Structure 1
Amino acid sequence: MEETNMDDCEHNRESEVAPALIAVHPTQKSVAVAVGSNLRVYNLQEGCSVSLVDDSGVHMHKDSIRAIRYGAEGKLFVSAGDDKLVKIWVTDSWRCISSVSSEKRVTAVAISNDGRFVSFADKFGVIYAVEIEGSHENQSLPNKKAVPILAHYCSIITSLEFSPDGQYIISADRDFKIRVSVFPEKPSDGAHEIQSFCLGHSEFVSCLAFICSQDSQQWYLLSGGGDSTVRLWDFTCGSLLDTCHVGETGLLQSKEGIDDRLLAVTDLCATPGGSLIAVALQSLAGVMLLSCNLSAKSLHVARVVPIPGETFIPTSLAAASSSNQLWMVMGASSLCTSDSAPLARVKVLNGFCESNQDSVEQEARVLEDKDLPGSEQLLQTLQGSSFIEKDALSAAAEAVKRAMCNLLIKKQYPSENREFRKRGRNDKRVDKKK
Structure 2
Amino acid sequence: MAVVCSKGDWFVSSCSSTLVSVNLKQTCEPFVFDCAKAEKRPKETEGNNKSSEGGSKEKDSDRILGFAVSSSGKHIALTDDHKRLVLFCTEPTWQCISTRWVVRRGTSLVFTQAEDEVFVADKSGDVYSFSVLEPQKPGELKLGHVSMLLAVALSPDDKYIITADRDEKIRVSFRQAPYNIQAFCLGHREFVSTLLVPTGHPDWLLSGSGDGTMKIWHYETGRRLQSVDVRQHGILQNSDADTEKRFAVSRIISSPDGRHIAVQCEQFPSVQIFLVNSGIESCLNHAETLALPQAPWDMTFDSQNQLWLLLESEDINVLLYRHSEQHWKLCDTETPELKRVTEALQAQANVYKGSVGLESQFKHLYKVTFDNMASYLQKKQERLEQQSKKRAANSSKHNVGGKKCKKESSPVAQSTS
CA separation of 1:63/1:385 partners in 2, compared to 1, >3 Å: closer, same or farther? closer
Give distance in 1, aligned partners of 2:180 and 2:203.
20
Identical positions, percent: 27
Give distance in 2, aligned partners of 1:39 and 1:129.
22
Give distance in 2, aligned partners of 1:107 and 1:313.
22
Match of 2:333, as an amino acid?
D
Q: Which residue of 181, 190, 195 corresponds with 1:203?
A: 190
CA separation of 1:264/1:52 partners in 2, compared to 1, >3 Å: closer, same or farther? closer
Give distance in 2, aligned partners of 1:235 and 1:325.
28
Give distance in 1, aligned partners of 2:252 and 2:19.
21
Give distance in 1, aligned partners of 2:261 and 2:242.
21
Give distance in 1, aligned partners of 2:19 and 2:341.
14
Asked if residue 379 in structure 1 is aligned to residue 374 in structure 2, the reply is: no
Match of 2:191, as an amino acid?
F
The equivalent of 2:283 in structure 1 is: 298
Deviates more, 1:245-254 or 1:169-178: 245-254
**TM-score w.r.t. structure 1 length?**
0.72
Cα deviation per residue 1:292-332 (whole Å; 9 max; x = unaligned)? 3133243332221112xx3x212322113x31211222349
Give distance in 1, aligned partners of 2:351 and 2:322.
22
Give distance in 2, aligned partners of 1:301 and 1:252.
15
Q: Which residue of 360, 374, 378 corresponds with 1:403?
A: 360
The equivalent of 2:374 in structure 1 is: none
**TM-score w.r.t. structure 2 length?**
0.75
Q: Is the 8 A contact 1:226 1:263 kept in 2?
A: yes
Which structure has the larger Rg?
2
The equivalent of 1:5 in structure 2 is: none
Asked if residue 369 in structure 1 is aligned to residue 349 in structure 2, the reply is: no
CA separation of 1:278/1:374 partners in 2, compared to 1, >3 Å: closer, same or farther? closer
Asked if residue 225 in structure 1 is aligned to residue 219 in structure 2, the reply is: no
Give distance in 1, aligned partners of 2:234 and 2:21.
38
Q: Structure 2 unaligned segments of length 5 or more: list them.
A: 42-59, 370-417
| CA apart distance, 1:349 | 2.0
CA separation of 1:71/1:330 partners in 2, compared to 1, >3 Å: closer, same or farther? same
Match of 1:382, as an amino acid?
L
The equivalent of 1:158 in structure 2 is: 150
| CA apart distance, 1:345 | 3.7
Cα deviation per residue 1:238-293 (whole Å; 9 max; x = unaligned)? 11000011112367413644554232111011124543211111232121112231
Q: What do you get for the CA RMSD once the two structures are aligned?
A: 3.1
Q: Secondary structure at the match of 1:381?
A: helix
Deviates more, 1:266-275 or 1:168-177: 266-275
Q: Structure 1 unaligned segments of length 5 or more: list them.
A: 1-18, 135-140, 185-189, 338-342, 353-358, 413-434
Give distance in 1, aligned partners of 2:328 and 2:234.
20
Match of 2:79, as an amino acid?
A
Match of 1:75, as an amino acid?
K
| CA apart distance, 1:347 | 2.2
Equivalence map 1:270-309=2 (5 Å): 270-296=254-280, 297-307=282-292
Cα deviation per residue 1:359-398 (whole Å; 9 max; x = unaligned)? 43xx3023343335151x4213224467999xx79x93xx
The equivalent of 2:415 in structure 1 is: none
Q: Is the 8 A contact 1:52 1:95 kept in 2?
A: no
The equivalent of 2:71 in structure 1 is: 72
Q: Is the 8 A contact 2:320 2:331 kept in 1?
A: yes
Match of 2:127, as an amino acid?
I
Q: Which has the higher contact order (CA 8 A, sep 6+)?
A: 1
CA separation of 1:131/1:66 partners in 2, compared to 1, >3 Å: closer, same or farther? same
Equivalence map 1:16-415=2 (5 Å): 19-25=1-7, 27=8, 29-52=9-32, 58=39, 63-92=62-91, 93-133=93-133, 141=135, 143-153=136-146, 155-184=147-176, 191-213=178-200, 218-249=202-233, 252-254=236-238, 256-257=240-241, 260-296=244-280, 297-307=282-292, 310=293, 312-320=294-302, 322-331=303-312, 345-351=317-323, 359-360=325-326, 363-371=327-335, 373-375=337-339, 377-384=340-347, 396=356, 399=357, 402-406=359-363, 408-409=365-366
Q: Is the 8 A contact 2:235 2:241 kept in 1?
A: no
| CA apart distance, 1:58 | 1.3
Q: Is the 8 A contact 2:196 2:205 kept in 1?
A: yes
The equivalent of 1:423 in structure 2 is: none
Q: Is the 8 A contact 2:19 2:34 kept in 1?
A: no
Q: Is the 8 A contact 1:84 1:102 kept in 2?
A: yes
